[in-house]
Amino acid sequence: MKKQLVFVLSVLMKMRQQYFASLKNRSVIGLLMCIVILVSFTTKVYPQTEWTKYEGNPVLDPGPPGAWDENVVVHPSVLFDGTTYHMWYSNYVNALCVNIGYATSPDGITWTKYDDPTTTSPPFAQSDPVLNPGEPGEWDDARVSHPKVLLLDTTYYMWYSGSDNYISSGPSSIGRATSIDGITWDRDPDNPVLTPGTAGSWDNPRVDGPSVIYDDNAYQMWYSGGDFIAWRIGYATSPDGSIWTKADSLNPVLDWGEPGSWEDSAVAFCSVVFDATNYEYKMWYTGIDVSVEAHIGYATSSTIGINENTIVQTQDYLHQNYPNPFNPETTISYQLPENSKVELIVYNLKGQKVKTLINELLSAGEHSVIWDGRDSNGNRVGSGIYFYKMKTDNHEETKKMILMK
């Protein structure tokens, strides 16, 4: 099983090697590993780093010979709606991801693949994909893969990788689709919603493998970018899930490791959750070394080390900035129950100080300050998530804001 899982994780990088074209091995999805790779829930997630593999793995197998998903099933995205587990996954055809499938489970272990009763002939005799390549001439008319699905209210939102070429190292972009049942999908008219950077940039010619979180009326995406041989992980934000702004001043937010390390060739295909208990983001990602051996790694982003849920609240009150998201400036208001020394500082997603807005003794009452989106040197900062932390004589509080350009 270990060898099969390593194969699944390294399969993308191994495409560039000629022997991959003769792939005969079967790849499978295991319960805990699939959750690590791509997972989302309808409520807050409190992730752990200690995992126990299910003894009955694998829980989802490839289809029989001749099926659309024979040989390989990979890239699972799983969510739980309170009664049913839903999984979307990719297949491989001639060493390329081509379609996206769907399966449901009452317990996350026993899965039933979607089967359209109107299709009875191979390759769709026993199951059917729910998202296929686009129409000829579209940006994704060759292949679709790496689904990431969220359920918001009663609508499913999928972000996925797509390409108009059959070259494993060719350009790819990220699109979005919506569905009311998780089966019939409508592509976003603005697709692709995230495209590669300009020639010579770190995320050219491919952006791939999106991991998306929705929180505080905004979307955050972590994505793989690179030239297929040397992946890195970038970050982007969006007010609506369709129009995305890359955090160019921070990207890439996760780089490959030092020479000789287990991840010295690439880091890619991550899954990110927000741990509200510790007020930090947690990422599981694929790391690949120069021998094309792949493993799953773990990283955290601790913002500024403040946990809003465990702070002892006093009468001090830090208001949410307005407007939020904002461009080019926003107002931060707060109240003080008594005279106090006040420090109000803006930090970026890496926990680095951007600008001190207030550092003085203030009287009790309501106060406000405007942040113009500039750092302490007067330079405009890039789009993305920022944190503002207020500290008084006996209280600390932190809130999040989003700058959109």
Question: What 8-state DSSP symbol labels residue 176?
Answer: E
CATH of 308-403, one of 1.20.1250.20, 3.40.50.920, 2.40.160.60, 2.60.40.4070: 2.60.40.4070
Answer yes or no: is pLDDT of 56 > 80: yes
pLDDT at res. 160: 98
Answer yes or no: is pLDDT of 399 > 70: yes
User: pLDDT category, 307, cuts 50, 70, 90?
Assistant: very low
What mean pLDDT comes out for the span 256-281?
Answer: 88
What does 72-141 look like in DSSP terms, one character per residue?
Answer: -EEEEEEEE-SS-EEEEEEE-BTTB---EEEEEESSSSS-EE---TT--STTSSS---SB---STTSTTS
- Rounded to the nearest integer, the mean pLDDT of the chain is 84
What ranges do the domains of the chain cover?
Answer: 2-301, 308-403
Contact by Cβ (8 Å): 90, 102:
no
Q: Please state the pTM of the whole predicted model.
A: 0.73
Answer yes or no: is pLDDT of 313 > 50: no
Contact by Cβ (8 Å): 188, 160:
no
pLDDT at res. 29: 54
Placement of tokens 């299709």 in the chain: 119
pLDDT at res. 374: 95
Q: Which tokens belong to 93?
A: 């055809």
Q: Which residues of 158-177 are buried (b: 16+ CB within 10 A; e: fewer)?
A: bbbbbbbeeebeebbbbbbb
In what side-by-side order are the strands of the sheet with 85-91? 73-80, 85-91, 100-105, 112-113
Contact by Cβ (8 Å): 99, 86:
no
Alpha-carbon dihedral sign for residues 299, 305, 308, 309: positive
Q: How far is CA 351 from the centre of its chain?
A: 20
Answer yes or no: is pLDDT of 107 > 90: yes
The pLDDT tens digits of the residues spanning 132-170 come to 999 999 999 999 999 999 999 999 999 999 999 887 768
pLDDT at res. 216: 67
Contact by Cβ (8 Å): 353, 387:
no
- Phi/psi of residue 3, nearest 5 degrees: -65, -35
What is the CATH number that goes with domain 2-301? Answer: 2.115.10.20
Higher pLDDT, 249 or 118: 118
The pLDDT tens digits of the residues spanning 338-370 come to 899 999 999 987 788 999 999 999 999 999 999
The pLDDT tens digits of the residues spanning 195-241 come to 999 999 999 999 999 999 998 678 999 999 998 778 999 999 998 99
Q: Could you give the percent of the chain with pLDDT greater than 90?
A: 63
pLDDT at res. 279: 72
What's the rounded Cα separation, in Å, for the pair 283 and 301? 8
Answer yes or no: is pLDDT of 55 > 90: yes
The pLDDT tens digits of the residues spanning 290-305 come to 888 999 999 988 654 4
Contact by Cβ (8 Å): 354, 375:
yes
What's the rounded Cα separation, in Å, for the pair 238 and 383? 10
- Phi/psi of residue 310, nearest 5 degrees: -110, 0
Answer yes or no: is pLDDT of 253 > 80: yes
pLDDT at res. 95: 67
User: pLDDT category, 316, cuts 50, 70, 90?
Assistant: low
Helix segments in 241-378, DSSP class H: none
Q: Which residues of 215-239 are buried (b: 16+ CB within 10 A; e: fewer)?
A: eeebbbbbbbbbebebbbbbbbbbe
Hey, which residues does 296 pair with through a beta bridge? 286
Least Cα distance to 187 among 173, 170, 199, 166 occurs for 173
What mean pLDDT comes out for the span 296-325?
Answer: 66
Placement of tokens 């051996």 in the chain: 293
pLDDT at res. 42: 38
Contact by Cβ (8 Å): 221, 176:
no
User: pLDDT category, 5, cuts 50, 70, 90?
Assistant: very low
* Residue 23: its H or E element: none
* Residue 160: its H or E element: strand 155-163
User: pLDDT category, 9, cuts 50, 70, 90?
Assistant: very low
Q: Which tokens belong to 183?
A: 């089966």
Answer yes or no: is pLDDT of 179 > 90: yes
Mean pLDDT check: name the lowest of 27-36, 103-112, 186-195, 197-206: 27-36
pLDDT at res. 277: 72
